[in-house]
Amino acid sequence: MEQLFAIQHAYLIPLLPLIGAVIAGFFCTGERKTLAHWPIWIGVGASAILSLSLLYGMMNLPHVEGKGLSYVQDYYSWITTGAVRLPGGQHTFNVGVSYLFDPLTAVMLCVVTGVGFLITVFSAGYMKGEEGYSRFFAFLGLFIFMMTNLVMGANLVMLYLGWEGVGLCSYLLIGYYYEKPAARDAAKKAFLVNRIGDFGFGLGIMLTFLAFGTVSFFGDTQGTDGFLNMATHSLNAFQQNALKWLPFLLMLGAFGKSAQFPLYVWLPDAMEGPTPVSALIHAATMVTAGVYMIARCGTVFVGNEAAMWTIAIVGAFTALFAATIALRQFDLKKVFAYSTISQLGFMFVGVGVLAPVAGVFHLVTHAFFKALLFLSSGVVMHAMAGNLDMRKMSGIRRVLPITRWLMLIGCAALAGFPLLSGFFSKDEIVAAALQRSTVLGIVMLLTAFLTAYYTFRLYFRVFEGPEVVPEEPADGQGHGHGHDAGHEHEEVEHGKHKHEPMLMILPLVVLAIGALVGGWLNHDEGMARFLGQSPSFIASARVLQAQHELESAGGLELAAGYGQHVELSARAKETTQFFHLRVMIISGFIALCGIGLAYMLHLHNRKAGDALVARYPLLARLLERKYYVDEIYQAAIVEPLRASGRLFFGFDNRIIDGVVWLIGFIPQGGGFTVKLTTQRGQLQGYALTMLLGIVVIVWIVLCA
Amino acid sequence: MRAMLICLLLVPLLGAMIGTSMPSAKASRRWALGVSLLTAALAGALVALFDFGHAQRFQFDCEPEMFMIDEIGFSVHLAIDSISLWLIVLTAFLTPLAIAASWESIAKRQTEYYVWMLVLLFAMLGVFAARDLLLFYVFFELTLIPMFFIIGIWGGAQRQYAALKFFLFTFSASVLTFAGILYVGMYAAPGSQPSMDLDTVIQHAQYGLTPHQQLWVLLAMLAGFAVKIPLFPVHTWLPLAHTEAPTAGSVILAGVLLKLGTYGMLRIALPIGMPNAIVYLAPALGVLCLVGIIYGALVAWVQKDIKKLVAYSSVSHLGFCVLGLVAMNVVGVQGSVLYMINHGLSTGALFLVVGMIYDRYHTRDIDQLSGLARRMPILAFFLVLFTLSSIGLPGLNGFVSEFLTILGAFTSTNLGIGFGAVAALGIILGAVYMLHMVACVLFGPLKTPMDDGASGHGHAEHAGDGRPGDLGGREIAILVPLAVAVVLLGVMPNIILRTIEAPVSRLLRPSGADDAIIRPVSGHAAGVERETEFVVRGREE
């Protein structure tokens, strides 16, 4: 594997976008600001080419059954400490800047740099004339750097580096229009909610080290072993105990980054960022990091039934919950944001029901069609003077003829219209869920129905029907996203409306092709078999089989969810195929029903749709206000913490100083004055307070 | 070679003496900057000449006979290992920046001010170089005097009260430290010659004291260090002192003076308390650290004054630093030493940036400032960078030390998983208050007290319209070295970690066992027992 060109020069994949970011950020100032997209185009484009060649090279390598494809490259040691005594012996905490290359990484890299490149191209058109043009591109480059580190990192700390790094870029880009209080607050919220998840992730890293003495996934080039390998061997008692908790700690991080309940609240607000950012970071790449992490660390998860069920149930609940909120949102980007949360829930279900290959497959197709949808709504916003409210526009298919088709493709893929990409990937998850539990499967089918409905509600409302184009630009407090200024500037320049510039449409066409045919990536289980050669999936399947051999003979089929080749009898094969066909037909039918219902209520007879809402005002209000979750968090978490901060500050000022004052006063009154004070005032009492405090501490310690 | 340390100390001392007779204010500040830069160059030379292959060995050893007082065992003994070396480098690095930051914001009695800065530099370097307990104490206390004047004369409105509070708090507590020092130096080894030599004293304390005596000596020592650090609940002098001190004072106070407490704890209190008393006290100290981390963060969050916010953040941060120390394992203590350096860099830098905002708008009120990024993008860049360093973003310096101190507590036999888990909450809260500050001051609609057209003030760069503009060349030149250091230590923390591993391991061993082999010493079975106990307990969990 090391002979591949892309592997020999793999350091360039993260490095080129970083160099681009530095050039764009520090050198494209003043007059050169308008050139800021060039370093990023070149950097991200080159790393996309390298990633694709890596993927291609890996697919053509001869593969050895059960051995897997992986290669670790160490660059330098980042954090090295002396040895600590752990339950399992003396270990040093050693973190290298090392990259791991396997099929999972290759697929993720292609998504990140590929979609990333298309979006940088789009952004050059979309962000034209913006004041912070170079800042925007510098942050995009930094994001790609961090995200590639995330998916290439060969140990938990490198993953954490990328993890927090993309969180930073997300923070900076959500807050791109930093003068808008809404953008500023959304940025802060995103960072802090993610930090709650990172708290779990961080502790997970420490627990991993405590239990295994290493944080490396599969060891390094020096021949040490990694914890994902160790977890497949026999474990000592401490490790077994640790594995009861470790998945839950890591999971918390994944829920934060991938916006799952209860940590999803930051993602809808994140739409305050410019639309390309929403497409790249908050739909296609960063938010899928949680799915990647659980797939990567599968070995420590699969042995823990409770953890896997938690992931599946949280995913299913989030999928349904977010889909219901999406039913009553009016802002295009908000609909897609909730839809993203919902689709991420699908991916978690896939991972949770022991079918991570299906989860990753959905991740890939979702990256295509969701990026397409976001960017298309960006075009809409560009043309509609910053308006995104579907109540203010209707039937704009003639204004934006190309975008209309692109949007239709994206919507159909998201809705799971038969034979489009979303159909195949969603179907695999639903089938896997049905196999695990009927209830779970039905919840997923219900969610799929709602998805089809809300997606086409949006499409029919905005693009079909009588033409209504909003005249006045959106006000700053709404969803102007600060874009009106740039837009007007462009109008003056071109002298006429040019709603669909080529720079913006071309990347969309590529994405649309992906959304149309992406489903065939897994034709004949091709992608599954490729991913199955990832050491993560091989090791996970091994753990699973070892576990199930003890209980029943079912372990063999479970390995299929990990892309492992499974020899089945002809009869079993037939049953499986029949089952899959049935699920396909059902889910295709359900998608069509959803689209049909949306057609009835939002195109054929809009009055009926409005009347339906009017009949259940309370429910509609509950959905519009997103179940009041933000308000609940504010009242239950933020305010009490702030209040306790104020309380402590008062305590600092009054009580501690007051006690000091009092203690300073007592000796004065009590005749100790000569001994303790040589000056007047209360300050001399501090020494005594301290003495007393120490006496109290000693007393407590001695008596404990 | 041997004279290097003497030179390092003499340069600022002589510089201060000569500085008193400078003809003009301008000359005195140039002189001070020159002297501090020369000191920094000498510190750089120390790094170049230091033998990192034997980093645990005390090098540049120097003990002039003329200063020996045999009756009490005192001598001017200077020598450094790599821990001291890096702290000296930190001190010598921050002082010129602090002096440059005072360039225009100190307007009165300048000659005096710069002399005090050089005296302060001398005293701080002395603390880190001292190998004699009494000498250490003398330098430790000597730092109080210049800082007292810097706060009391050049500080803000409440400067005199703040200076007094600062002085009395730290001084009265270190009297207890002094008592402990005298006790252990004079009486620890009855029969033998009294000695203040650090190694001898530590050996006396470890072998000659009963556990009970050891505990009391340790408590006396900790009293002074805890106030200096400052640990909860004796931290109340710090916010006031920081708020009132001039920018340079705050930079040095947070950057170096607080580290004198943790350094003393690391160098003196921990070894003296080994292997019994410290293990006994560690959980109690750990709880104080945890309370400090959470308490400091929550209080920082509700501050209206940016400087006070950063000051309270120090209370929270130093909690991490001490937590790593009392973890008493290599990871924790290495992390803690790195934390001292990183906190000095990023908090020092934050105080500098806050000072630059204050120079322009004469307010630090979070309600009066908003959206400064629009007016000052360069300042915004630096403030965001140092904020990220402070909240421990991986890739910048703060992350490594924060992570290692928590990991130290997590894997410690004295503390354990619970301590690590609570400390990790500080990761969340640290981001809460810092991003709150950034959001309020840098982002949002532009609002400053100057925007009603009040005339500009003498010492800030001006934009064309008379309003204060972005950072000037001098200010950028002050912040760039810090920014470089913040990134460098984030990407390559091993520059420091690797070199301090040997001395840290040496510190954590009973002083009889000086070399690579850990010799279990009879009569100290307690420590060994505890560790085996942990293994058993760990399995049961």
Chain B residues within an 8 Å CB radius of A192: 428, 431-432, 435
Least confident range of B31-40, B341-350, B506-515: B506-515
Enumerate residues 230 to 259 of chain B having a beta carbon within 8 A of any beta carbon in chain A.
233-234, 236, 239
Q: Give yes or no for residue B161 having a pLDDT over 90.
A: no
Q: What average pLDDT is seen over chain A?
A: 86
Q: Give yes or no for residue A411 having a pLDDT over 90.
A: yes
Sequence letter at residue B364 = R
DSSP string, B338-360: HHHHHHHHHHHHHHHHHHHHHHH
Q: Per residue in B33-63, is it b (16+ CB within 10 Å) or e — as a string? A: bebbebbbebbeebeeebeeeebbbbbbebe
User: Which of B236, B431, B432 is the closest to A656 by Cβ?
Assistant: B236
- Give chain A's count of helices (H) and strands (E): 32, 2
Chain A residues within an 8 Å CB radius of B222: 694
**Inter-residue contact A310 to A251 (CB < 8 Å):** yes
Give me the half-sphere count of Cα atoms (radius 13 Å) on the Cβ side of residue B507.
33
Report how far apart, in Å, the C-alpha atoms of A60 and of each of A36, A56, A67, A69, B106 are.
Answer: 37, 6, 16, 11, 69
Report how far apart, in Å, the C-alpha atoms of B211 and of each of A147, B181, B271, B367 are.
Answer: 54, 17, 13, 54
pLDDT at A605: 86
Q: Give yes or no for residue B319 having a pLDDT over 90.
A: yes
Closest residue in A to B501 (Cα–Cα): A82
pLDDT at B167: 85
Residue B488 confidence class, pLDDT cut points 50, 70, 90: very high
CB contact under 8 A, B334 and A82: yes
What average pLDDT does range B272-285 have in this prediction? 87
CB contact under 8 A, B541 and A238: yes
Rounded CA separation B50/B5 (Å)? 12
pLDDT at A701: 57
Rounded CA separation B114/B98 (Å)? 11
Rounded CA separation A346/B336 (Å)? 43
Is residue A675 within a helix (H) or strand (E), and if so which, with residue range?
helix A673-676
Q: Give yes or no for residue B539 having a pLDDT over 50.
A: no
What average pLDDT does range A427-435 have in this prediction? 91
Chain A residues within an 8 Å CB radius of B302: 642, 645-646, 649
**Which residues are CB-contacts of A122 (< 8 A; sequence separation ≥ 6)?**
A276, A279, A375, A378, A503, A504, A507, A508
Rounded CA separation B226/B513 (Å)? 29
Chain A residues within an 8 Å CB radius of B374: 179
**Inter-residue contact A273 to A326 (CB < 8 Å):** no
**Which residues are CB-contacts of B389 (< 8 A; sequence separation ≥ 6)?**
B342, B345, B346, B349, B396, B397, B398, B486, B490
What average pLDDT does range A519-534 have in this prediction? 85
Kindly give the pairing relationship between strand A71-86 and strand A89-101. Answer: antiparallel
CB contact under 8 A, A165 and B394: yes
Tokens 């580290």 correspond to what residue? B259
Q: What is the largest CA-CA distance in chain B?
A: 77
SS3 state at A330: coil
What tokens appear for A8 in the block? 């020999």
The answer to whether residue B213 neighbours chain A at the CB level (below 8 Å) is no
The answer to whether residue A638 neighbours chain B at the CB level (below 8 Å) is no
**Which residues are CB-contacts of A330 (< 8 A; sequence separation ≥ 6)?**
A389, A390, A391
| Per-residue model confidence as pLDDT tens digits over A195-247 | 999 999 999 999 999 999 999 999 877 778 889 988 888 788 889 999 999 99
- Stated length of chain A: 704
- Give chain B's count of helices (H) and strands (E): 23, 2
What secondary structure letter does DSSP report for B303? Answer: -
Least confident range of A62-71, A151-160, A576-585, B343-352: A62-71
Least confident range of A471-485, A591-605, B179-193, B339-353: A471-485
Residue B286's Cβ-count burial label (10 Å; 0-12, 13-18, 19+) is buried
User: Which of A86, A179, A648 is the closest to B445 by Cβ?
Assistant: A179
Within 10 Å of residue A89's Cβ, how many Cβ atoms? 9
pLDDT at A65: 66
Q: What average pLDDT is seen over chain B?
A: 86
Q: Give yes or no for residue A422 having a pLDDT over 80.
A: yes
Within 10 Å of residue A471's Cβ, how many Cβ atoms? 9
The answer to whether residue B65 neighbours chain A at the CB level (below 8 Å) is no
Least confident range of A242-256, A318-332, B52-66, B431-445: B52-66
Residue A553 confidence class, pLDDT cut points 50, 70, 90: low
* pTM, rounded to two decimals: 0.90
Chain B residues within an 8 Å CB radius of A238: 538-539, 541
Rounded CA separation A469/A463 (Å)? 11
Is residue A71 within a helix (H) or strand (E), and if so which, with residue range?
strand A71-86
Question: Between chain A and chain B, how many beta carbons pairs sit less than 8 Å apart?
Answer: 191
pLDDT at A475: 53
Q: What is the 3-state secondary structure (H, E, C) of A262-321?
A: CCCCHHHHHHHCCHHHHHHHHHHCHHHHHHHHHHHCHHHHHCCHHHHHHHHHHHHHHHHH
The alpha carbon dihedral of A402, A405, A406, A408 has a sign of positive
What tokens appear for A386 in the block? 């910053």
The answer to whether residue A640 neighbours chain B at the CB level (below 8 Å) is no
Q: Give yes or no for residue B477 having a pLDDT over 60.
A: yes
- Stated length of chain B: 541
CA of residue A461 relative to chain centroid, distance: 29
Q: Give percent of chain A above pLDDT 90.
A: 51
**Inter-residue contact B320 to B453 (CB < 8 Å):** no
**Inter-residue contact A51 to A168 (CB < 8 Å):** no
What average pLDDT does range A529-542 have in this prediction? 89
User: Which of B239, B497, B541 is the closest to A79 by Cβ?
Assistant: B497
ipTM of predicted assembly, 2 dp: 0.89
Q: What share of chain B is helix, strand, coil (3-state, %, to 5)?
A: 75, 5, 25
User: Which of B236, B399, B411 is the closest to A657 by Cβ?
Assistant: B236
What average pLDDT does range B116-129 have in this prediction? 95
CA A654, A656, A661 angle in degrees (round to 5)? Answer: 80
User: Taking Cα atoms as reference points, which of A416, A438, A439, A276 lies closest to residue A339?
Assistant: A416
Q: Give yes or no for residue A671 having a pLDDT over 60.
A: no
Report how far apart, in Å, the C-alpha atoms of B189 and of each of B180, B203, B214 are.
Answer: 14, 9, 13
Q: Give yes or no for residue B462 having a pLDDT over 50.
A: no
User: Taking Cα atoms as reference points, which of B47, B199, B22, B194 lies closest to residue B112?
Assistant: B22
**Which residues are CB-contacts of A442 (< 8 A; sequence separation ≥ 6)?**
none
User: Which of A83, A187, A196 is the closest to B428 by Cβ?
Assistant: A196
State how far residue A118 is from chain B, nearest Cα, in angstroms: 27
Rounded CA separation B100/B33 (Å)? 7
Within 10 Å of residue A654's Cβ, how many Cβ atoms? 11
Kindly give the pairing relationship between strand B78-80 and strand B59-62. Answer: antiparallel
| Per-residue model confidence as pLDDT tens digits over A620-633 | 888 888 888 888 88
| Interface-testing mutation among A81, A178, A657, A701, with chain B (most B C-beta atoms within 10 A) | A81
SS3 state at A693: helix
CA of residue A420 relative to chain centroid, distance: 23
pLDDT at A638: 87
What tokens appear for A189 in the block? 């919220």
| Per-residue model confidence as pLDDT tens digits over B383-415 | 999 999 999 999 999 999 999 999 999 999 888
SS3 state at B130: strand
Q: Give yes or no for residue A23 having a pLDDT over 90.
A: yes
Sequence letter at residue B213 = Q
Least confident range of A518-527, A614-623, B477-486: A518-527
Q: Give yes or no for residue B469 having a pLDDT over 90.
A: no
Within 10 Å of residue B86's Cβ, how many Cβ atoms? 23
CB contact under 8 A, A184 and B492: no
CB contact under 8 A, B335 and A87: no
**Inter-residue contact A307 to A247 (CB < 8 Å):** yes
Report how far apart, in Å, the C-alpha atoms of A297 and of each of A73, A166, A194 are.
Answer: 19, 19, 19
CB contact under 8 A, B494 and A79: yes
Rounded CA separation A38/A23 (Å)? 10
What average pLDDT does range A87-95 have in this prediction? 88
Rounded CA separation B222/A378 (Å)? 61
What average pLDDT does range B458-462 have in this prediction? 45
CB contact under 8 A, A178 and B331: no
The beta strands (E) that lie in A163-234 are given as: none
User: Taking Cα atoms as reference points, which of B109, B145, B211, B159 lies closest to residue B524?
Assistant: B211
Rounded CA separation A279/B478 (Å)? 39
Least confident range of A290-304, A556-570, B319-333, B360-374: A556-570
Q: Give percent of chain A above pLDDT 70.
A: 87
CA of residue A469 relative to chain centroid, distance: 34
Q: Give yes or no for residue A555 having a pLDDT over 60.
A: no
CA A559, A560, A562 angle in degrees (round to 5)? Answer: 70
CB contact under 8 A, A687 and B173: yes
| Per-residue model confidence as pLDDT tens digits over A125-139 | 898 888 889 999 999
Determine phi and psi for B201, rounding to 5 degrees.
-60, -45
pLDDT at B191: 65
Residue A111 confidence class, pLDDT cut points 50, 70, 90: very high
Is residue A673 within a helix (H) or strand (E), and if so which, with residue range?
helix A673-676
Q: Give yes or no for residue B379 having a pLDDT over 90.
A: yes
Residue A99 confidence class, pLDDT cut points 50, 70, 90: very high
